[in-house]
Copies of this chain bind each other. A is one copy, B any other.
Amino acid sequence: MTIVTHSRTAKRGTYTPSAALVKDVLAGRAIAIARMISRAEEGYPEAAEALAELYKHGGNAHIVGITGVPGAGKSTLVSALIKAYAAEGRKVGVIAVDPSSPYSGGAILGDRVRMSETAAAGGAFVRSMATRGHLGGLTRATLQAVDVLDAAGYSPIIIETVGVGQDEVEVVTAAHTVVVLSAPGLGDDIQAIKAGILEIADIHAVSKCDKPEASATVSALQGMLSLGGGSGSHWTSPVLPVSAVSGERIAELKDAIGAHWAHLHDTGELAARQRAICKTRILGTARHLFQQKFQQESATLETHIRAVTERRMDPSVAARALLGWEEIR
C-alpha cells in the first residue's frame, strides 16, 4: 500500500489551465488533485469555475467525519483506517483539519514528499489543510477539497477534525457518517463541553481499549445514549472500543461505518442528510463571501466606523448602509 501525503506548499511553480486540471482530476491524477485542492485552499478566483464543474461530477463518495479532542488518538485511528480500506483496494481520501495532525508536521511521510501519480493510483490520498489565514473560509476550502476527491472517484473520504471550535464542528456536520472518538480517562469537564459533539455522533469509538479505564468510558457513553431517547432515526449509535496501535477491532469500526452508510441508503435518510449538508454549505459559503467583502471594502467600512464612533450614526444604520440596504442618513 502507498500513502501519498500532499503539502500545500509544494508545486506552486507550474500553472495548469483550469479545463486541463478538471480533466486530469476526473481521470484521477494525484498531481492534478493536489493542485486543485491548493487552488481551492488559496481561494484563487479562477478556481471557482473548475470547482463548480467538478462538483457536478461528485456525489458518489461516502464522507466520514472523525472528530475528538486532542489526545484522543484520532490520527492513529485514521492511519489504521487508511490501511484497512487500502487493503480492500478502496481509494480512500483523507482531509485533515487539525493543527496537531502528524500529516501537517510531516511525521508520516514528510511534508515535501514527492508526489507520484502511480503511488496514488491504488492507494490513499492524504492532505492536511492549513488552519490559519483562511479569513473564516476553512470550512469552505475543506469541503471543496472533499468535492475534488469525490469527483476523482475517492470513497470513503475521511474528514479528520479536532472536536473544538465552531469551524470544525461545521466541517464535520457535512459528513454522512460522524465518528466521535473518546479517550478513556478524560475529565468530566471536557466530556461536558464535548456534549455538543457527542450528540452528532453516528458512531462512538473509544480509543486505547487495552487500558483498564476504557470500559468505564464505554459505560458512560452507553449511559448517556440511553438517556438521549429517540432521535427520530432508527439508527442506534454503537459504542465501539478500539485500539488503533494494535489494530484491534478496527475492522469492526470499519464495518460499523459501512453499516451506517447502508442504513442511510436503505431508509432514504440519505436524501434528508444530503439536503441538510447542502443547506449548511450554501449558508456557510455566503457568510464567508460576505465577510470577505467587508474586509476588501475597508475604506467604506472605515468611514462608517468613524460615523458610529462620533455618534452621527448607530451601528444598525451603518450595517444596513454597508449591506447596500439603506441610504446613509
Contact = CB atoms under 8 A, between A and B. Distances in A.
A278 B315 contact: yes
A281 interface: yes
Return the 6 tightest CB-CB contacts between A and B, nearest first.
A55-B314, A285-B319, A286-B319, A281-B315, A278-B308, A189-B189
Residue of A48, A51, A309, A325 with most chain B CB atoms under a 10 A cut-off: A309
B52 A313 contact: yes
Interface of A: 48, 51-52, 55-56, 58-59, 140, 143-144, 147, 166, 187, 189-190, 193, 271, 274-275, 278-279, 281-291, 294, 301, 304-305, 308-309, 311-320, 322-323, 325, 329
B56 A282 contact: no
Contacts of A187: 187, 189
Given A48-B316, A289-B323, A308 B294 contact: no
State the number of copies, please. 2
Contacts of A55: 311, 313-315
A274 B309 contact: yes
A83 to B, nearest CB: 31
Contact of A59 (B284, B288, B290, B311): B311
Contact of A316 (B140, B271, B287, B314): B140
Contacts of A308: 278, 281-282
Contacts of A315: 55, 140, 143, 278, 281-282, 284-285
Given A187-B187, A187-B189, A285-B319, 19 more contacts: A52-B316, A52-B329, A55-B313, A55-B314, A55-B315, A56-B314, A144-B316, A189-B189, A271-B309, A278-B315, A282-B301, A282-B304, A282-B318, A282-B319, A283-B319, A286-B290, A287-B290, A287-B291, A289-B319
B278 A283 contact: no
A274 B310 CA distance: 9
